[in-house]
Structures are given as structure tokens and as C-alpha cells.
A and B are shown apart, each in its own frame.
Chain A
Amino acid sequence: MQNVSLVPLCVLLAAAAVHAQPPTFSTRREVVRVDVLVSDDGRPVTGLMPDDFELRDSGVLQTIDLARLESIPIDVVLAFDLSRSVAGQRLAHLRQAGAAVLGAFAPGDRVGLLTFSHVPTLSQALTDDPEPIRSALGRLEGRGDTALVDGLYASILVGESDGGRSLVIVFSDGMDTASWLPRSSVLDTVRRSDVVVYSVTTGESRDAAFLREVGKATGGGSFQVGSTAELARTFVAIFDEFRNRYLLTYTPTGVDQDGWHELNVRVKRRGAAVTAARPGYFR
């Protein structure tokens, strides 16, 4: 699997310059990004160079321009289910988990807080200042129904808004009862985005299955916790895993312009393997 996205070249460069430019989406010269986790016996592998990877787009071998690790700041969107079922200790655990992510930050990282009940709300836009986020976490209050799919769509757009390296961590303790957007449509959006989505749920449901599919499609992952007391540890583990990913970039050659592009990434180094990346992308 591999994690990929189509990003205009100027946007990618802007991301590398730590969000120096506002979002630009009109450039047609496209660079594909593949967010890849490489591990060996469960441990992240570091120190790999572009030549250590072999990447095929629709079966065609591509030339990797860049393989970077750790040096690119991360935009994290925390997308929290804040329906009325999130209250009391559950809400307290959610606040603690959000604060724990802040504790794992590195210089240049940014975090935003998006909540969803029957509608999504941006409680705090992306910022590198943890204080507004802490303040927003303190104001959280569960109410209303659950519009998880709508909330996920909104978090994807917020995550990709600056063209940086984006991670969305979705938490939901319930079932979607209020979304307007169909799951299939949002899954399509996800496949056209460069955002990596990890989800954390507390029980089995149609939405937990949907989030697993989203995680797989973005090269992210999904976790099911037995108790919200596990949220903080899980969030930090997700964040750490994401930071240890390689960001591969290449300009597609020899492949069709439109449609689904199946990706295949492998590591040439013995013992190492690609353990998370998106399986393809739409153009």
C-alpha cells in the first residue's frame, strides 16, 4: 500500500517551506506525493534515501524525486465527534487526548480542532500555538446528533487547505445519524486527497467499517479502543507513527492522465517493508 496524492508542484514546494504560501489549486503541473511508513519487525526504519524505494504508478516504474523523513512539519486536524453521547468522563478523556497530541508536537507543526455533532464546526483553525487549542479543548461540550461523514469531509478540506503534510485523526464514539453526504461520495473525495486519515472508535458499527475503509484508502489506519481512557495513548501513538513516515514525491510519467492510478511501493533494503501507504489515487 502507499499513500499518495496529487498536489500542484507549487503547493508542494510551499509545504516544504513550512506553509509559507496560501493555498493554490489551479496549477496543472502535478506532483504525486506518497506517504509511506517503512518498518522492520514492527520498528520504523530511518535513514532511507530515494534510491532505496521502488515506486510503480499503474505498473510503470517512476523516478522518485524526494524521500523525506521528519523534516516536514505536520498539520494535524483533530476531528472529534461531539454529539450528546460524549459527556462526563468520556469528554474528559477526549480533552486529555487532544492535549496529549499537543505534547508531542515539534517546531513547525500545526494543529486544528474540528468538531462535529449534527453539523461540523471549526473550533480552532490550524495553528502552531498550542494555547488556543487547549482553550478550545476546554470549551468542548457534547450535544446534538452525529454527522460523522460530513465532519470527515470538512476535516479533509481543512487538512489539505494549506497543501502541507496533513494528518486527520478522527474520533467517534457513536453512529452517524445526521450526515447529508453519502459515505461513497466522501470516500471518493478521500481518494482524491493527499490527507492521511487515522480513526479511533469505541465500538463496531457501519461507521467503524467506513472509517477502516477510509484509513486504508489514505494509507492511514484505524483503531478501536475498549475505553476512552485509552484515547490519549492511542492519539500519541498515531502521531508518532505518522512522524516516522517517508514522504515520497514524483512526477508521473508514462501513465494516463485521468482515472484510477494503482500504486505499488517497495523498499529494496533487506528486512524492511512498506507497512502503510495508500493503494492508489484518482486524477
Chain B
Amino acid sequence: MPRILRRGVLPPLVVFLQMSLGVGAAAASGTERSGAGQQRAPSAVLEGVESWLRAVNEHQPGERDAAVATVSRWSGADLGALLTEGLLPLLRTCDRPVRQRLRTAGAIATPRPRRGGLADHEIAFIRRLALGLCRTHDGVVRETPPGVIDHLLRGGAILHGDAAMLALPDPETGAWPPTGTPRAHRPAGSSSGMSMLADGTHTFMPNTAAAHWAMARILVDQVRANPSDADASPARDPMVRSWYRASLAFMAAVPYVDTAHFKRAEELFGDDAVVHLLVGSMHEWMASDAVQQPMDAARRRNHQSRFPVGSARAELGRARRHLERAVRLDAALIEARVRLGRVLGLAGNHRDAAAELRQAVAAEPQPPLAYYANLFLGAEEEALGRLAEAGDAYRRAASLHPDAPTPRLALSHLMRRQGNREGALRLIGEVLAPESEPSATADPMRRYSRSAGRHARALLRDMVRLYLEAAPDSRGRAADPVR
């Protein structure tokens, strides 16, 4: 993959980072500060900015390369200092309109530039440095036209997104990053940027992925996409849309919750059915016992304020809102309908749930959706007292995955309910028989909670493709981002 260009940056993560970590913490370069709460020396700022620009420029999207290793060593405090003392003044200088967009950036308040920051000549130096680092595969950019700035912002978002993803468990294997890989700490006391990680053992684990996700969000927030347009906005940038889809899918696959991420995704792409599906699936998961039971324990220990997870009922309501919106936006998005049916059923609205799920089954979706739809439909038919129909749905699910225990467990219980003890015992015997655990592939229900993210890798590849396609030419002219 050719080295490509990126450029300048800014942001509002600053508020989040400053709030939780204190302003002017250790320099990104690792140099010492002159004192608690004071700014770093200009040389340290320059080193930090230079390191960041080099990392952005050299990073190969999706790779665990030296660039990711560099930024992974930076804490949230480092990132905050980099923004407030380096990148923010830099971008304010080289891109005046950015300042205006900062004020309307949305969820996060516009940070005020710190007084006493870099001198003009230092900013000019950084700018020259940035220009020197901003390269395309076919030349050096002489100026920093908006397309170049956007490209650097996108590249920075990819870099920090990769750092965040590499600090989290692998969504396919569940394996944590190798020992020694920096895992940033979760900023204490943050609420808007709260990150929560439940890995199945009912433990909320601190992590630093939140800081990198926030940094990445700030970067893509500054992408203007077709700056000649009076309505220039990151929401009009295909790569930014793709980045949100891919990052949300990754979070769903882990699963990993960052409510600030959900909120900004919805603000920018409220018209995107996939975004609503992914956010809805996360709220559906947050309503599940896997999250609610540990939350109960946390509440008993008076730690509830650290985790912005609502009650099961509240989370189901949020899930329903997103999934209904997804269905309205794209009636062909069967997964949204399946999940909507599930959520409605969990909320006790069995009649509407069954109606949604019947539609989903009738659409003959691909695996694993057909399996989920039939299983959930069986449960809803059973709840409605339509036991024959419930049995039919369970049997269809069983036929799709003959080795999966869940449909047989459901059928066993249905038979027991109908008074057929022999049938119930025979089926539960089949479930109990295997000495070895069924694999996740044998029963897709095992990975239902994270299945909404099963396309994460494909979405990430698509996002990188858009990023590369939007790379400016040697004159710094960006490809038309609005396609």
C-alpha cells in the first residue's frame, strides 16, 4: 500500500480529556513538563506533533505497525496535550474555517485555545513540518488545500482507531492484546466518553481504547468533505460514514460500549440504517443479563455512576427506537427486523414481535439470520400460546443448525409444557449428550450478542478503500468525496 498523505487536525475530545485527565499532562513525546498543570516546553510540543504526523503518515491501515505502537504508548493525557498545545493551534493557523466548525461540532463543546501556547514562528514551523510530511504517492504537496487537510484527518482517525482496536480483545478469538501491549487506562470520572468492557466474566475492565476512539472522533469531526459547498460537513464524507459504520461494527463484535461514539454516530448519520442497526444492537446487548447482572452488582457497590447503562427496560427502549428507525430507513435490512422482533418480545410486546419476526422469516434471510428469526419467532409464538406454530419455528431453526442445542432445548421445554414428558426428556437427552461443548459454529446463539458486528472486517476494508480513493493528487486536490 503506498504511503499517502494526511494532514492537519483538531479538537473537542479536549474537553473530555482535560476534564478527566487534567490539562497539560505528560508530553506525547515523553518529555517532562515544567510543572504540574503547566504546559510543556515548545520543543516538547513540536516533538509530539512531529511524532504524531510521522505516525499518521507511516501507518498502514489495519496493521500493528510502529506507528500504532508509537501512539499506543500515549495516554489520554498525552493525547489531550497533543491536541490542545500542538495540533489545535496548528490547524487553527492553517485552516481558518475549521475554527467555525469547531463551534458547531455537535455533542462536544468547542475547546478554547490555551493562552501562552506556541509562538507564531513555532506554529509556522509545525505547519511547514506538516506540509513536509503530507505526501501522496506521486508527489509533495506545496500547500494545504482542504482536500489535503481532510486526508490527514481521515488518516489520523484510522491511526487512532487502529490503536483503539488493537487495545481491545480480538472480536473473533476473544484474545486480549499480547502482554506488554499498552492498554491505556480508562479516564476516571468520565461520563460522556465512558467506555465499558464486559468480557463475559461479568467484569468491567478499564481500558484506554476510549481515549483513542475519542481522538479519532475529533479528527473525523473536522473533515469538511467538499469544502466548496456551503454545507460542508463530515456527514457528507463517504469515508467518515464508512468509518463510523466500521468502528461501530467492531465495537458490536467485541462487544465494547462507548456511548459517546454512539451519540456522535447518530448525530452525523441519523439517516443511516446500518448505523441505527449497530447502535440498536448494542443497546439490545446492554439490556441483556450479560450486562444487567454485573450492573446490578455494581449498583449494589454504589459504582453505578461510572457506567452509563440504563435499566433493562430503558436499554430495550433505546434499542427499539434505533431498530425501528433502521427498519423505516431500509425495509430490506432484515437483521434490523429480526432484532426489532427480539427486542419487542423481550419488552413483552409479543404480538408485534411475532409480526416482525414472521416478516423476517418470510423474507428468507441468509444465515445466521434465518436461524435467529425462527428461534425468536418460536419464542414469541409460544408466548402467544400458539404452541404448534412455535414448534414449527423451532424445528425450522433446528433444521438450519442440526447440532445446535438451543432449538432442541426450546423444543424440549415446549413439549414439557404440553405434557409430553417423554419427548421433553428425549430432546434434553440430545442436548446433554455431547461430552464436549458445542462450538460457536454449531450454535450461532452463542455469538448472537456480537453477531451484528460480524461484517466488521469487510466494513473496515471498505472504509480503507474509500480513504485511499479520496487521497489528494500531487497538487493537493482531493477526489470528489460526495459520490
Which A residues form the contact surface with B (CB < 8 A)? 23, 25-26, 84-85, 114, 117-123, 143-145, 150, 153-154, 157-158, 160-161, 174-181, 185-186, 188-189, 192, 203-207
**Residues of B with C-beta under 8 A to A189:** 413, 416-417
B202 at interface, CB cutoff 8 A: yes
Which chain A residue shows the least CB distance to B440? A118
**Is the beta-carbon distance between A205 and B296 smaller than 8 angstroms?**
yes
**Is the beta-carbon distance between A205 and B434 smaller than 8 angstroms?**
no
**Is the beta-carbon distance between B437 and A118 smaller than 8 angstroms?**
yes
**Is the beta-carbon distance between A175 and B425 smaller than 8 angstroms?**
no
Partner of A206, one of B293, B431, B434: B293
Which chain B residue shows the least CB distance to A204? B300
A114 to B428, CA, bound (A): 12
User: How far, in Å, is A208 (CB) from chain B's closest CB?
Assistant: 11
Known contacts: A114-B432, A120-B432, A122-B432. The answer to whether A206 contacts B289 by CB under 8 A is yes
Task: Write 19 A-B pairs (CB below 8 A) sorted by A numbering.
Answer: A84-B200, A119-B437, A120-B431, A121-B434, A122-B429, A145-B290, A154-B431, A157-B428, A175-B293, A177-B200, A177-B202, A177-B289, A180-B409, A186-B413, A188-B417, A189-B417, A203-B297, A205-B296, A207-B293
Partner of A205, one of B297, B424, B433, B445: B297
User: How far, in Å, is B301 (CB) from chain A's closest CB?
Assistant: 11
A175 to B290, CA, bound (A): 8
Interface string of B407-433 (1 = CB under 8 A from A): 001101100110011101100110111
Partner of A181, one of B413, B437, B443, B446: B413
B435 at interface, CB cutoff 8 A: yes
User: How far, in Å, is A175 (CB) from chain B's closest CB?
Assistant: 4
Partner of B425, one of A114, A117, A157: A157
**Residues of A with C-beta under 8 A to B288:** 177
Partner of B296, one of A114, A178, A206: A206
**Is the beta-carbon distance between A157 and B416 smaller than 8 angstroms?**
yes
**Residues of A with C-beta under 8 A to B201:** 84-85
**Residues of B with C-beta under 8 A to A25:** 420-422
B281 at interface, CB cutoff 8 A: no
**Is the beta-carbon distance between A180 and B445 smaller than 8 angstroms?**
yes
User: How far, in Å, is B395 (CB) from chain A's closest CB?
Assistant: 15
B294 at interface, CB cutoff 8 A: yes
B406 at interface, CB cutoff 8 A: yes
**Residues of B with C-beta under 8 A to A119:** 405, 431, 437-438, 443
**Residues of A with C-beta under 8 A to B297:** 175, 203, 205
Which chain B residue shows the least CB distance to A139? B435
**Is the beta-carbon distance between A144 and B293 smaller than 8 angstroms?**
no
**Residues of B with C-beta under 8 A to A192:** 416
**Is the beta-carbon distance between B428 and A154 smaller than 8 angstroms?**
yes
A157 to B413, CA, bound (A): 10
A114 to B438, CA, bound (A): 16
Known contacts: A161-B425, A175-B294. The answer to whether A154 contacts B432 by CB under 8 A is yes
**Is the beta-carbon distance between A174 and B202 smaller than 8 angstroms?**
yes
Which chain B residue shows the least CB distance to A123? B435
Q: Interface residues of B toward A: which range?
A: 35 or more
8 nearest interchain CB pairs?
A: A175-B293, A122-B432, A25-B421, A177-B290, A157-B428, A119-B405, A180-B406, A177-B289
Known contacts: A174-B202, A206-B289. The answer to whether A181 contacts B409 by CB under 8 A is yes
A161 to B416, CA, bound (A): 12
Of A23, A177, A206, most buried by chain B (CB within 10 Å of CB) is A177
User: How far, in Å, is A153 (CB) from chain B's closest CB?
Assistant: 6
Partner of B413, one of A23, A153, A174: A153
**Residues of B with C-beta under 8 A to A161:** 425
Partner of A145, one of B200, B412, B425, B443: B200
Which chain A residue shows the least CB distance to B433? A122
20 extra A-B contacts, CB within 8 A, seeds A85-B202, A157-B421: A25-B421, A85-B201, A114-B432, A118-B446, A119-B431, A122-B433, A123-B435, A150-B409, A153-B428, A160-B421, A175-B293, A180-B406, A180-B410, A180-B445, A189-B416, A192-B416, A205-B293, A205-B296, A205-B297, A206-B292
A176 to B292, CA, bound (A): 10
A189 to B410, CA, bound (A): 13
**Residues of B with C-beta under 8 A to A206:** 289, 292-293, 296
**Residues of A with C-beta under 8 A to B434:** 121
- Within 242-294 of B, Cβ neighbours of A (below 8 Å) are at 288-290, 292-294
**Residues of B with C-beta under 8 A to A180:** 406, 409-410, 445
**Residues of B with C-beta under 8 A to A85:** 201-202
**Is the beta-carbon distance between B428 and A175 smaller than 8 angstroms?**
no
**Residues of A with C-beta under 8 A to B438:** 119
User: How far, in Å, is A87 (CB) from chain B's closest CB?
Assistant: 11
Known contacts: A117-B437, A118-B437. The answer to whether A176 contacts B417 by CB under 8 A is no
Which chain A residue shows the least CB distance to B413? A181
Which chain B residue shows the least CB distance to A149? B289
**Residues of B with C-beta under 8 A to A114:** 432
Interface string of B315-328 (1 = CB under 8 A from A): 00000000000000
Interface string of B11-41 (1 = CB under 8 A from A): 0000000000000000000000000000000
Known contacts: A25-B421, A85-B201, A153-B413. The answer to whether A176 contacts B289 by CB under 8 A is yes
User: How far, in Å, is B336 (CB) from chain A's closest CB?
Assistant: 22
A261 to B202, CA, bound (A): 40
Known contacts: A121-B432, A154-B428, A158-B432. The answer to whether A144 contacts B294 by CB under 8 A is no
**Is the beta-carbon distance between B409 and A175 smaller than 8 angstroms?**
no
**Residues of B with C-beta under 8 A to A26:** 422
